[in-house]
Structure 1
Amino acid sequence: MNEDTIFIEGLELYAYHGVPEAEREIGHRYRIDARLRLDLREAGKTDSIRSTVDYASVAQTIVETATKERFLLVEALAETLCNRLLEGFPTVEEVTLTVRKVLPPFPCVVASVGVEITRRRT
């Protein structure tokens, strides 16, 4: 597998996911990091956007999916995001996503909770 990686770190959005109904009504801030593995040699040689992945399009896919759909679990959100990125960007071989729910409604102070998953093209 290729070791080249495109990354987006600290993408923040507000969305309505969670097990308790109140979380789905009030919403929360989420922070998402994405790492996409693909072959970037041609982009490096040609200096052409056609040889890589448009970072803004990746970010837009993440934001649209996370804000227009609803999930009970952060795990389901992350799984769906990985699938959308692999479907939408055929040159991407692997996606690693970290999805954090910022300041979750716990009885103690927690900066964030979340998951990190990696999915590969099959």
Structure 2
Amino acid sequence: MDKIYLKGMEFYAYHGVFPEENKLGQRFQVDLVMKADLSEAAAEDNLEKSVNYAEAHQAVKEIMEGQTFDLVESIAESIASNILQKFNIVEQATVKVIKPDPPIPGHYEHVAIEITRAKT
């Protein structure tokens, strides 16, 4: 299975369990890996047989900036589900949602959740 990557997409959004997260917002990063058979797209040099990166980015952006979730798990689930529905060629989607600055004490690079979902 071939892979299409959209890595390090950045958004400012209002997700989180704490009221200040929903009011003030924060930065998020999203990595998306889509598994699909790209042999036909490559052989024909035809975008219609692949995934348009701009459309995939827009699909993620609509969820990140257009909805509010308490859990990053719910964000990732929504993105994966949307990608699998929107792009027929995609058989599996792995979504990593990263919170670089969560409102918790301590020193760390970031916190994140990663899920993988596949068509059944």
Q: Same fold (TM over 0.5)?
A: yes
Verify the 8 A CA contact 1:14 1:67 in the aligned structure 2.
yes
The 3-state SS of whatever aligns with 2:90 is coil
Verify the 8 A CA contact 1:29 1:101 in the aligned structure 2.
yes
Which residue of structure 2 aligns with residue 37 of structure 1? 35
Equivalent-residue separation in structure 1 for 2:107 and 2:24 (angstroms):
18
**Identical amino acids, percent of aligned pairs:** 38
- Runs of 4 or more off by more than 3 Å in structure 1? none
Verify the 8 A CA contact 2:10 2:27 in the aligned structure 1.
yes
Which residue of structure 1 aligns with residue 87 of structure 2? 89
Structure 2, unaligned stretches of length 5 or more?
none
1:80 is aligned to 2:78:
yes
Verify the 8 A CA contact 1:18 1:24 in the aligned structure 2.
yes
Q: TM-score, normalised by structure 2?
A: 0.97
Which residue of structure 1 aligns with residue 19 of structure 2? 21
Q: Following superposition of structure 1 onto structure 2, how do residues 1-122 of structure 1 map, counting pairs within 5 Å?
A: 3-122=1-120
What's the Cα RMSD here?
0.8
State the shift of 1:109 in Å.
2.7
The 3-state SS of whatever aligns with 2:94 is strand
Q: TM-score, normalised by structure 1?
A: 0.95
Verify the 8 A CA contact 1:16 1:26 in the aligned structure 2.
yes
- Count matched residues: 120
State the shift of 1:111 in Å.
2.1
Verify the 8 A CA contact 2:32 2:95 in the aligned structure 1.
yes
Moved more, 101-110 or 17-26: 101-110
Moved more, 74-83 or 107-116: 107-116
